[in-house]
């Protein structure tokens, strides 16, 4: 069948559908005008007016604005405000037959008062209610697909929640690819050391999710993030005892390949190959990477000094058994976990006493001491002064 004939038959079919819709549209427009004193127009998917509501009004809107209003309402599942050329607003509800969009019902050229409702103008709150009324009335008249629009609204809310969660994640500790990796690094190294490659790949996958989020649709940025991950993991391998010259020699030629990679699939394959090679370098070394494994535990302790901390909590963060964690702490710092924690709390207390005007009891609580007399005893053991004496001696630094 010739194209012109197909288009003619389609136009005739759509016109017939609009003829069947018009009576319901005109009834809706009368009711809507009675409530809001706003005229409506029935338009096709291009924004062209098929029929004006009752009472009829002259055409003072924009075809492009009407078209965009219908498209946006379908996208979000609810009316979306569009600005008209005259500085007024329009909103729409899609007219649908099952899942097929035939056009829309548009309220256009609406004057919005800048502050309070004025003559012939609606307040911002009234505009919102009027738009929702149009949606409700169109659904009641069976002029649109209520189920599909409700689904779109749910999808929009889920996407909004996802965006908020990602934003919150970025605003906290996941502010860069390096930080994403450093959070996961101890568990990754531990998994590789014990030969659990499945666990290691799961951790790497979480890191890659962050990489592809931050670098989406920006190939050069994505490459830089991937390269940063490889460099950071190489550093981990060296800290774990791998031969740096051997690791650099193995990676040098493959680094040069990265510049010529454009496709995302090829980039993934390159990265997988590099990560496997680095994991091999870590696994082949028998020296225990205590500095790597302890890093996250120490940061966890520093961030939670105001809480009740146990050796088991810190050991869990380092992915070590409690007894093994105690031995590593002793070997690294020359003191027990309890002594290390007390010293860290005293250092925090010294900072607060010197740089803030918090009360002694508040400093005590902020540093994880539940009893002020015990706080004084421990502080004096490490500094030779009571908290009050220490503050007095350093008072000039925060005056």
Task: Tell me: do 41 and 126 sit in the same domain.
Answer: yes
| Within-domain flag for 163 | no
Task: Tell me: do 82 and 26 sit in the same domain.
Answer: yes
Q: Which two tokens stand for residue 346?
A: 């005293």
Kindly tell me if the per-residue pLDDT of 3 is higher than 50.
no
| Within-domain flag for 295 | yes
For residue 383, the tally of other CB atoms under 10 A from its CB is: 17
Kindly tell me if the per-residue pLDDT of 18 is higher than 70.
yes
Per-residue pLDDT tens for 197-209?
Answer: 777 777 777 777 7
Asked if 103 contacts 51 with a C-beta cutoff of 8 angstroms, the reply is no
- Rg (Cα) of the chain, in Å, rounded? 33
Asked if 375 contacts 362 with a C-beta cutoff of 8 angstroms, the reply is no
| Whole-number pLDDT of residue 122 | 77
| Within-domain flag for 130 | yes
133 or 89: which leads in pLDDT: 133
Q: What is the mean pLDDT of residues 55-75?
A: 82
Q: 13-47: string of b/e by CB count within 10 Å (b at 16+)?
A: ebeeebeebeeebbebbebbbeebebbbbbbbbeb
| Within-domain flag for 155 | no
Task: Tell me: do 14 and 143 sit in the same domain.
Answer: yes
Task: Tell me: do 26 and 92 sit in the same domain.
Answer: yes
| Whole-number pLDDT of residue 293 | 66
0.85 exceeded by the pTM?
no
Report the CATH number at residue 368: 1.10.10.60
Quote the number of domains for the chain.
3
Domain that holds residue 373: 291-397
Per-residue pLDDT tens for 181-192?
Answer: 677 777 776 666
Task: Tell me: do 7 and 146 sit in the same domain.
Answer: yes
């Amino acid at each position: 069948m010739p194209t012109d004939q197909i288009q003619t038959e389609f136009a005739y079919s759509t016109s017939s559908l609009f003829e069947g819709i018009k009576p319901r549209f005109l009834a809706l427009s009368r009711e809507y005008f009675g409530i809001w004193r706003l005229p409506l127009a029935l338009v096709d998917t291009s924004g062209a007016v098929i029929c004006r509501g009752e009472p009829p009004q002259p055409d003072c809107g924009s075809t492009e604005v009407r078209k965009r209003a219908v498209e946006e309402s379908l996208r979000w599942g609810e009316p979306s405000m569009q600005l008209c050329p005259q500085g007024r607003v329009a909103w729409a509800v899609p007219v649908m037959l099952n899942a097929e969009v035939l056009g829309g019902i548009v309220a256009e050229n609406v004057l919005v008062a800048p502050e309070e409702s004025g003559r012939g103008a609606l307040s911002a709150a009234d505009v919102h209610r009027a738009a929702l009324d149009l949606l409700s009335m169109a659904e009641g008249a069976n002029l649109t697909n209520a189920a599909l629009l409700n689904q779109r609204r749910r999808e929009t809310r889920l996407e909004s929640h996802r965006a908020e969660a990602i934003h919150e994640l970025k605003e906290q500790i996941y502010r860069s690819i390096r930080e994403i990796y450093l959070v996961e690094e101890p568990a990754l190294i531990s998994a590789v050391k014990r030969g659990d490659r499945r666990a290691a790949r799961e951790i790497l996958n979480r890191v890659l999710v962050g990489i592809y989020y931050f670098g989406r649709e920006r190939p050069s940025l994505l490459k830089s993030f991937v390269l940063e991950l490889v460099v950071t993991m190489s550093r981990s391998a060296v800290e774990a005892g791998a031969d740096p010259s051997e690791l650099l020699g193995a990676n040098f030629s493959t680094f040069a390949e990265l510049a010529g990679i454009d496709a995302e699939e090829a980039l993934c394959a390159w990265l997988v190959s590099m990560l496997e090679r680095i994991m091999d370098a870590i696994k082949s070394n028998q020296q225990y990477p205590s500095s790597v494994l302890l890093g996250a535990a120490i940061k966890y302790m520093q961030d939670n000094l105001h809480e009740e901390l146990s050796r088991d909590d810190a050991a869990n963060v380092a992915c070590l058994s409690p007894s093994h964690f105690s031995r590593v702490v002793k070997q690294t710092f020359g003191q027990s976990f309890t002594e290390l924690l007390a010293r860290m709390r005293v250092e925090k207390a010294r900072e607060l006493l010197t740089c803030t005007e918090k009360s002694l009891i508040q400093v005590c609580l902020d540093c994880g001491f539940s009893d002020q007399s015990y706080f004084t005893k421990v502080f004096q053991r490490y500094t030779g002064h009571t908290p009050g004496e220490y503050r007095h001696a350093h008072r000039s630094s925060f005056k």
